[in-house]
Amino acid sequence: MDAPINRRELICSLAKAGIISPSLTAALAQPTAQCFVSQDDSITVIDTNVSLFQWPFRRLPLEPTAVLAAKLRQLNITEAWAGSFEGIFHRDLTSANDRLAAECLPFQEFRPVGTINPMLPGWKFDLERCVRHHRMSGIRLFPGYHGYAFDATSVGQLLEMATAFNVFIQIVVSIEDTRTQPEMLRIPDADLTALPDVIASLPTARLQILNHKLRDPLLSRLSDHPGVYFDTARLEGTDSIPELCSKLPKQRLLFGSHAPFLIPEAALIRVHESNQLDLTQLQDIYHNNASRFLRN
């Protein structure tokens, strides 16, 4: 079994990868740099935001599933909710979801999360197949890439059906910063303005907003719904984690790395080194909140 996450090793690996500067590396390595972890310097993590298969515009270092799984184990990420890059670009989502389920099968870490596109004629079949055949716990939506707004009739039907099936719904706000996207495919962040009104009639719905940079008043409107949760993947700087925690109802923030598109160590550092979260809060973000979200 791989060794659990170690703060010193985590910082060193980030420095070698060029993700953090030498000066920041030295500062974080000092004994005075606070780190709220258990005495054995380890903590188990559920990563609610990873993807499998190939990103079409560049090769990613952790792209092979076995390589990504090994990295997650090294970082003591014991479970990862895995969507599919194929689900963004393929029209045949039945086959894409079948491949995702098969790819996850040999790896105990991965929980497959199928892609549904409510603009395609077979989306109801795809949803039922994800739930009944593959027994998936959740689905992932890409409204920006699939080109729909949340006030579309089929989107409301999808949210209602998924809620009736008791599966969670992950909504991806973005995949890549618009400044680095290929010129032939510029996709703005998904517009969630209509979402609070759509889910108001679905009090038992479970939704997680991925890769967001939400601010009030939309953040407050979304978090007013008891089943809306958020991830950490696109938050910038260590202060952003405790700041978002202060704005959300308790236990609504789940760890997400957006690996392999982003390097998972960076996401861990943002949470680990905030210096404003106590051990209970860290355990909630890293593991407990996701576990509760999954059980509800």
Average pLDDT, the chain: 88
Model pLDDT for residues 229-277, shown as the tens digit of each residue? 999 999 987 789 999 999 999 899 999 999 999 999 999 998 987 778 8
d(CA 218, CA 225): 12
Structural domains in the chain, CATH included, are 7-295 (3.20.20.140)
Query: 150 φ, ψ to 5°?
Result: -80, -10
State the pLDDT confidence band at 182, using cuts at 50, 70 and 90. confident
Residue 205, C-beta contacts closer than 8 angstroms, at least 6 positions apart: 159, 162, 163, 169, 199, 225, 227
Match 């990420």 to its residue by tokens: 77
Statement: residue 279 has pLDDT above 70: yes
> How open is the CA angle 101-105-107, to the nearest 5 degrees?
125
Read off the amino acid at residue 66. Answer: A
Range of weakest confidence among 196-200, 207-211, 252-256, 269-273: 269-273
State the pLDDT confidence band at 177, using cuts at 50, 70 and 90. confident
Q: What dihedral angle (degrees, nearest 10) is formed by the CA atoms of 45, 51, 53, 59? A: -90
Q: Which candidate, 168, 116, 123, places its Cα nearest to that of 145?
A: 116
Match 């310097």 to its residue by tokens: 41
Q: What is the average per-residue pLDDT within 6-31? A: 46
Yes or no: say if 127 and 160 are a contact pair by the CB < 8 Å rule: no
The whole-number pLDDT of residue 150 equals 96
Match 């952790």 to its residue by tokens: 62
Q: For the residues of 138-181, what is the DSSP string, one character each?
A: EEEE-HHHHT--TTSHHHHHHHHHHHHTT-EEEEE--SS-TTTS
Q: Which two tokens stand for residue 186?
A: 């510029």
In this structure, the number of other CB atoms found within 10 A of the CB of residue 125 comes to: 12
d(CA 184, CA 172): 20
Greater confidence (206 vs 8) lies with: 206
State the pLDDT confidence band at 11, using cuts at 50, 70 and 90. low
Model pLDDT for residues 63-111, shown as the tens digit of each residue? 999 999 999 999 999 999 999 999 999 999 999 999 999 999 999 999 9
The whole-number pLDDT of residue 209 equals 98
Greater confidence (279 vs 10) lies with: 279
Statement: residue 293 has pLDDT above 50: yes
Statement: residue 16 has pLDDT above 70: no
Cα 93 to chain centroid distance, Å, stands at: 20
Yes or no: say if 222 and 195 are a contact pair by the CB < 8 Å rule: yes
Percent of the chain with pLDDT over 90: 74
Model pLDDT for residues 151-168, shown as the tens digit of each residue? 999 999 999 999 999 999
The whole-number pLDDT of residue 184 equals 83
d(CA 81, CA 49): 6
